[in-house]
Amino acid sequence: MIKDIVNWICDYTKEHNIKTLVIGVSGGIDSAVTSALCALTGLRVIVINMPIHQDKMLDFLSDKHIDWLEMSFNNIESKKLDLTNAFDVFSDVFFESDKDSLSLANSRARLRMMTLYQVAATNGGIVVGTGNKVEDFGVGFFTKYGDGGVDISPIADLMKTEVYELAKELEIVDEILDAPPTDGLWNDGRTDEDQLGASYPEIEKAMTWAEENELDQFEPTGDENFDLVLNTYFTHRLKNLHKMNSIPVFKRDEKECFAQ
Task: Report the pLDDT value the prediction gives residue 77, as an integer from 0 to 100.
Answer: 98
Residues of the chain with pLDDT under 70: 95-100, 254-260
Query: How many CB atoms sit inside 10 A of residue 11's CB?
Result: 10
Question: What is the spatial distance between Cα 88 and Cα 95, in angstroms, rounded to a whole number?
Answer: 10
CA-wise closest residue to 173 among 70, 23, 38: 70
Q: What percent of the chain has pLDDT over 90?
A: 82
Question: What is the spatial distance between Cα 88 and Cα 111, in angstroms, rounded to a whole number?
Answer: 11
Task: Report the pLDDT value the prediction gives residue 258, as an integer from 0 to 100.
Answer: 55
Task: Report the pLDDT value the prediction gives residue 115, as an integer from 0 to 100.
Answer: 98
DSSP-assigned states of every residue in 123-157: TTEEEBP---HIIIIIS--S-TTTTT--SB-TTTT
Element (H, E) at 7: helix 2-15
Domains and CATH numbers, the chain: 2-192 (3.40.50.620), 202-244 (no CATH)
- Using one digit for the tens of pLDDT, what is the confidence trace for 32-52? 999 999 999 999 999 999 999
What is the side-by-side strand order in the sheet with 125-127? 76-80, 44-49, 20-24, 125-127
Question: What is the spatial distance between Cα 123 and Cα 121, in angstroms, rounded to a whole number?
Answer: 5
Question: What is the spatial distance between Cα 162 and Cα 160, in angstroms, rounded to a whole number?
Answer: 5
Question: What is the spatial distance between Cα 18 and Cα 16, in angstroms, rounded to a whole number?
Answer: 6
Question: What is the spatial distance between Cα 23 and Cα 150, in angstroms, rounded to a whole number?
Answer: 9
Contact 129, 35 (CB under 8 A): no
**This prediction's pTM:** 0.91
Task: Report the pLDDT value the prediction gives residue 99, as an integer from 0 to 100.
Answer: 57
Rounded to 5°, the CA angle 145-149-155 comes to 135
Query: How many CB atoms sit inside 10 A of residue 105's CB?
Result: 17
Element (H, E) at 48: strand 44-49
CA count, 13 A, side-chain hemisphere, 218: 18
Task: Report the pLDDT value the prediction gives residue 104, as an integer from 0 to 100.
Answer: 87
